Amino acid sequence: MGTIQALRGTRDILPEEVVYWQWVESVARDILSRSAYQEIRTPIFEATALFERGIGEATDIVGKEMYTFMSRGEDKYSITLRPEGTAGAVRSYIQNGMHAQGGVQRLWYTGPMFRYERPQAGRQRQFHQIGVEVLGSSDARADAEVIAIATDILQTLGLQNLRLDINSVGNPTDRQQYRQALIDYFTPYSSELDADSQTRLTRNPLRILDSKDKRTQEIAQNAPSILDYLGVDSKQHFDQVLQLLTDLGISYQLNPRLVRGLDYYTHTAFEIISDDLGAQATVCGGGRYDGLVAELGGPDTPAVGWAIGLERLTILLQKMQQAPKKTLDFYVVSRGEKAEAQALLLAQKLRRIGFSLELDLSGSAFKKQFARADKSGAVACLILGDEEAENQTVKLKWMATKEQQTLSQKDLLGKTDEWRRQIDMLKTQ
Ligand code: ATP
Ligand code: MG
């Protein structure tokens, strides 16, 4: 019998890689909480109808990517593993009466999402997103704020070669006219379009612009631009967003073919794209969805948000070898019965007063333990042998200089601030 492997399109995130994930999460958490965004955690599975209504039947996600199954038991109903986070967040917003609190709600979430796709680099069946939703504001500043926050997160992580593509998909009235223009444009080419786009021609022609088929993309190059179909209000909103981005020093590229082709998506649509990712280049996708809350049974509520794909982000960070700094203060080595027992005790006390450390449990020769101390990334090594155990002392060796000193365990535990200062100084070097 063979061993059981992780399923196609899923993967383990091993400890060496998890450090990148934790780094991204802590940077995002920090920036979001300083911007008054509150975390929300919604279930990983929801009623299938939520996504059918919330994402739209004519989309790839609902059409062919959802993991859907029947619940067990008597009252069978259809369940779907969430393919994205917005529908669940909006369901929760309505269900929990957050709209009744008035004002603007700023939410963020992170977690796994599930889509049945052909796995490749940066495209998996279980993948992860961090996302934000701002509910209750139609102000162009809300659009600009969410874009600025995404930019801040990516910049703080040190990412380069990113570009912001932006477009407006207008309001439903603008789109109605644009829709007809697209049908008129694409119909003569209909036999050359990919199969999906052919069915979209009547159902949702905007989505043809989103096709990944090469010939369809070529044809779409000369399609009419939505920007020529925006009404006065839509144009004004879009101009404001662009002006605010300019004021914020965020450069962008207009991309009239960037669409989120659903009825409840309105106005701003944007993507942050990396030149370093190959085919799966979009790191962040977002936009305004003024119609969604109402579509899901809530009151008319304007909203805007985005989602960042964490696999693609961590691939970029690893490519840049932009590793988070190691943070271990001490590596503790010991040998001999008494010393080993004391080392455990000392480690526990040091942890309790706020130091980070790794205790070597091997019991092997000092030489081997020192080699591991070197690899651990710790700032200093603490050494306990028979002599130290006897005298209640400890040897402290600074890893960078190999300088060594012997001090009483009491001094080590007592002069916390002094050690902290020295270690932090060395960490920043
Ligand atoms: P794509 O065009 O690449 O399929 P999408 O439009 O389906 O992307 P969104 O639904 O906008 O993607 O999701 C936001 C982000 O989540 C994407 O920009 C991407 O970074 C990430 N993402 C989406 N699907 C996957 C996946 N299957 N595997 C890994 N990351 C994904
Ligand atoms: Mg997709």
Which segments are annotated as binding site for L-histidine? Answer: 84-86, 115, 129, 133, 260, 264-265
* Matching residue, tokens 């259809």: 78
Amino acid in position 399: M
CA distance 335 to 287: 60
CA distance 423 to 429: 10
State how far Cα 11 lies from the chain centre.
16
CA distance 234 to 230: 6
In this prediction the pTM is 0.88
CA distance 242 to 258: 15
Q: 283 alpha carbon to ligand 1 midpoint, in Å?
A: 8
Mean pLDDT on 391-397: 96
Q: 285 alpha carbon to ligand 1 midpoint, in Å?
A: 8
- Residue 62 DSSP symbol: I
Q: What confidence score (pLDDT) does residue 306 get?
A: 97
Closest approach atom of ligand 1 to CA 124: 28
Q: Is the CB of 62 under 6 A from ligand 1?
A: no
Is pLDDT at 374 greater than 70 in this prediction? yes
Q: 83 alpha carbon to ligand 2 midpoint, in Å?
A: 10
Q: What confidence score (pLDDT) does residue 226 get?
A: 95
Q: How confident is the model at residue 325 (pLDDT cuts 50, 70, 90)?
A: low
Is pLDDT at 281 greater than 70 in this prediction? yes
CA distance 273 to 277: 9
Is pLDDT at 323 greater than 70 in this prediction? no
Residue bearing the bigger pLDDT, 344 or 416: 344
Residue environment code for 143-172, b if the CB has 16+ CB neighbours within 10 A, otherwise e: bbbbbbbbbbbbeebebeebebbbbbbbbe
CA distance 137 to 153: 22
Question: Which strands form 380-384's sheet, in the order they lie side by side?
Answer: 357-359, 330-334, 380-384, 393-398, 404-408
CA distance 261 to 58: 9
CA distance 227 to 257: 10
Top mean-pLDDT range of 98-102, 306-310, 313-317? 306-310
Q: What confidence score (pLDDT) does residue 326 get?
A: 64
User: Which tokens sit at 309?
Assistant: 């794909």
pLDDT tens digits, residue range 334-355?
999 999 999 999 999 999 999 9
In the chain, helix, strand, coil percent, each to 5? 45, 20, 35
Residue ID of nearest Cα to ligand 1 atom 26: 123
Ligand nearest to the CA of 112: 1
Q: What domains are defined for the chain?
A: 15-171+231-320 (3.30.930.10), 330-427 (3.40.50.800)
Strands annotated E in 136-191: 162-168
Q: What confidence score (pLDDT) does residue 369 get?
A: 97
Residue bearing the bigger pLDDT, 348 or 73: 348
Q: What confidence score (pLDDT) does residue 56 get?
A: 85
How many percent of the chain have pLDDT more than 70? 99
Residue ID of nearest Cα to ligand 1 atom 17: 309
Q: How confident is the model at residue 322 (pLDDT cuts 50, 70, 90)?
A: low
Q: What confidence score (pLDDT) does residue 375 get?
A: 92
CA distances from residue 165 to 42, 202, 268, 360, 423 in whole angstroms, order as listed: 30, 27, 11, 51, 44
Select from 413, 414, 426, 421 the least CA-distant residue to 382.
413
Amino acid in position 17: E
Q: 58 alpha carbon to ligand 1 midpoint, in Å?
A: 17
Is pLDDT at 114 greater than 70 in this prediction? yes
Biggest CA-to-CA distance, the chain: 91
Ligand 1: residue of 280, 313, 317 to mutate (most ligand atoms within 8 A of CB) is 280
Helix (H) or strand (E) holding 286: strand 282-288
Three-state DSSP at 28 gives: helix
Residue bearing the bigger pLDDT, 88 or 204: 88
Q: How confident is the model at residue 58 (pLDDT cuts 50, 70, 90)?
A: confident
Q: 236 alpha carbon to ligand 1 midpoint, in Å?
A: 29
Backbone angles phi, psi at 281, to 5 degrees: -95, -15
Instruction: Round the average pLDDT of the chain to a whole number and report it.
Output: 94
Helix (H) or strand (E) holding 238: helix 232-247
CA distances from residue 33 to 224, 252, 272, 309 in whole angstroms, order as listed: 41, 26, 22, 20
Q: What confidence score (pLDDT) does residue 327 get?
A: 74
Please say whether the beta carbons of 155 and 163 come within 8 A.
Answer: no
Contacts of 322 by beta carbon, 8 Å cutoff, 6+ apart: 157, 158
Q: How confident is the model at residue 261 (pLDDT cuts 50, 70, 90)?
A: low
Select from 258, 304, 308, 318 the least CA-distant residue to 284.
308
pLDDT tens digits, residue range 222-253?
999 999 999 999 999 999 999 999 999 999 99
User: Which tokens sit at 152?
Assistant: 């801040």
